[in-house]
Amino acid sequence: MVDRELLLFMPASSIFFAMLSGEILSKLASISSSSNLFTSPEDKIAYSYDGTPLLQQLPGAVIRPRSAEEVSQIVRLANQEGFPLVARGSGSGLSGGSVPLEDSVIILMNHWNRILEIDEQNLTVWVEPGVITGQLHSAVEARGLFYPPDPGSAAICTIGGNVAENAGGLRGLKYGVTKDYVMGLEAVLANGERVRTGGKSVKDVAGYNLKDWLVGSEGTLGIFTKILLRLVPKPETATTMLVFFDRLSDSAEAVSAIIASRITPAALEFLDNTTIRCVEDYARLGLPTNLEALLMIEVDGRKAVVDEDADRILSLCRKHGASMINVAENEQDAQRLKSARKVAFAALARIRPTTILEDATVPRSLVAPMLEFIQQVARKRNLTFGNFGHAGDGNLHPTCLTDERDEKEIHAAEAAFEEIFEKAIELGGTITGEHGTGLTKKKFLERQVGSAAVELMREIKRVVDPNAILNPGKIFSPKPRCEGPLPGNRDQLQKFLDQGAFV
């Protein structure tokens, strides 16, 4: 979802941030050396956008700190000089979370990519925030351990970004999301202080749960420098299935029946006909393209239980109208079947120049009505939508295939997503299941949680980050905007902040 107003979001002057003068750039270079400070137009362009379509803004500079102390010094300098900071990993986010402000400094963390400790006795792992999620999977699985969260971009996204956005993934139904595996954090706060919260103790209720304040805060409350994650034993075995349905409603009824039978698959994923056709054209997996829906189902655990659960699931699918079933015969075959779901976004993105992927989420019993509504909206507004997602937990990915050069069509897409988010809220769901609020969905936040909750969030932000230097403008906007002449010095800026004129 892209609001056209966001294309010109929060220029630096509207919240009184300082321009990056040569003096400020010299001070930044002295902290982390000139070789780690990037100011060329080419470098700025490379970090002016993330995975979100239609959002782009050149930063003032990009810096690559080498230590937590350097991060702390950069944050202190930002407070002193009044410029914003945006922490960034791989830039794969889909809500504009790492899109910079004008004259902001990108703090690049993707080179912090060490797995520091795998503790097999306590089933934990310490990592730096730039560790690629898929590489962490491989490292711990080589030791018979398992890190369940698996975002669709696991091959490129970083753990720090996952924690900042509280990322989900295909295994969320059984195993939960990122927050369920974060045991501890080391972070630099907005005043430059370094904190460590949580640890390896399974039980720890000392003081406020600061760890969970930081998880999902989208870089607005702190910058992660180390992350402690919980691991579980690697499942003994798994069975992967593709199940096809002539009717969309039958697939939804099969999902409800599986959940009602008290079986919890590791993955229970959905693709509609548009997505199936695009995937087959892209990956040539031998998928039938004349059916309305496909379910990709995986069960894991001990072999006897997996075999029993797989048999029950297949029986329920047949009972609810499955027209074709394909069960993986080995690990290679399982990867092939899972790729039908994993390449869905890439396959859809080939169809039109601009692909807008969202994550409206509803209670899983209401997946079918929500999908039906999305189709109605697409027909009404003459748009092409592909739908896929995590049917088992209600996390859908309505994906609009459009062209940003067609202003009329983009406006239609914006209006369609507004209807979709309103419907998700009406059904007791949420505007975002795993992508975060960021820039693209902050206009809908108050509709979901209410004005009192948003004001509480603003107050937390104001107390933790009074100068609003950490990823400002994400999740919610400064409120109200100031009218009249802009303050001309730091004292005036502080006065406005103290009066609550901003976050």
User: For the whole model, what pTM was predicted?
Assistant: 0.91
133 and 50 in a single domain? The answer is no
CATH number at residue 94: 3.30.43.10
Verify that 390 and 409 share a domain, yes or no.
Answer: yes
In a domain, 113, yes or no: no
**The pLDDT of residue 489:** 41
Tell me the sheet residues that pair with 85: 105, 470
Q: Quick one: 65 and 16 in the same domain?
A: yes
- Give the pLDDT score at 410: 97
Distance between CA atoms of 53 and 409, rounded to whole angstroms?
Answer: 14
Burial class (CB in 10 A: 0-12, 13-18, 19+), 336: middle
d(CA 241, CA 296): 6
Both 144 and 170 in one domain: the answer is yes
Query: What CA dihedral angle connects 113, 117, 120 and 124, to 10 degrees?
Result: -70
> What H or E segment, with its residue span, contains residue 272?
strand 267-272
Domain end, chosen from 440, 456, 485, is at 440
Residue 497 belongs to some domain of the structure: yes
Burial (CB < 10 A; 0-12, 13-18, 19+), residue 224, is: buried
Element (H, E) at 125: strand 124-127
Domain shared by 461 and 410, yes or no:
no
Residue 432's domain is classified under what CATH number? 3.30.70.2740
**Domain for residue 116, yes or no?**
no
| 81 and 8 in a common domain | yes
Helices (H), 96-194: 133-141, 159-165, 172-175
On whether both 136 and 176 belong to a single domain, the answer is yes
CA distance 74 to 366: 47
Euclidean distance between CA atoms 7 and 30, whole angstroms: 34
3-state secondary structure at position 233: strand
Both 432 and 447 in a single domain? no
What is the CA angle 102-104-110, rounded to 5? 125
Tokens encoding 102? 């004008």
Which contiguous run of DSSP H or E holds residue 169? Answer: none
Question: Is 418 inside any structural domain?
Answer: yes
Residue 289: give its domain's CATH number. Answer: 3.30.70.3450
pLDDT of 17:
77
Residue 214 shares a structural domain with residue 259 = no
303 is a domain residue: yes
Asked whether residue 49 is domain-assigned, the answer is: yes
Q: CATH code at 186?
A: 3.30.465.10
The SS3 call for residue 389 is strand
Q: List the beta bridge partners of residue 128.
A: none
pLDDT in 10s for each residue of the chain, 503 residues: 444 344 333 333 345 577 899 999 999 999 999 999 999 999 999 999 999 999 999 999 999 999 999 999 999 999 999 999 999 999 999 999 999 988 999 999 999 999 999 999 999 999 999 999 999 999 999 999 999 999 999 999 999 999 999 999 999 999 999 999 999 999 999 999 999 999 999 999 999 999 999 999 999 999 999 999 999 999 999 999 999 999 999 999 999 999 999 999 999 999 999 999 999 999 999 999 999 999 999 999 999 999 999 999 999 999 999 999 999 999 999 999 999 999 999 999 999 999 999 999 999 999 999 999 999 999 999 999 999 999 999 999 999 999 999 999 999 999 999 999 999 999 999 999 999 999 999 999 999 999 999 999 999 999 999 999 999 999 998 654 333 333 344 454 444 334 333 32
d(CA 377, CA 410): 14
CA quadruple 146, 152, 158, 162: dihedral sign: negative
Give the three-class secondary structure for 349: helix
115 in a structural domain:
no
Count: domains in the chain: 4
Looking at residue 127, the DSSP 8-state letter turns out to be E
Q: 395-402 and 354-357 as β-strands: parallel, antiparallel, unpaired?
A: antiparallel
Q: Are residues 305 and 249 in the same domain?
A: yes
* CB distance 72 to 115 below 8 Å: no
pLDDT at 10: 39
3-state SS, residue 74: helix
335, 243: one domain: yes
The residue out of 396, 425, 440 marking a domain boundary is: 440
Per the structure, the complete domain to which residue 144 belongs is given by 124-233
Instruction: State which of 289, 313, 347 marks the end of a domain.
Output: 347
- The pLDDT value recorded for residue 18 is 75
Q: Domain check: are 255 and 187 in the same one? A: no
What angle in degrees, to the nearest 10, is found between the helix axes of 442-449 and 407-426?
A: 20
Residue 119 domain-assigned (yes or no): no
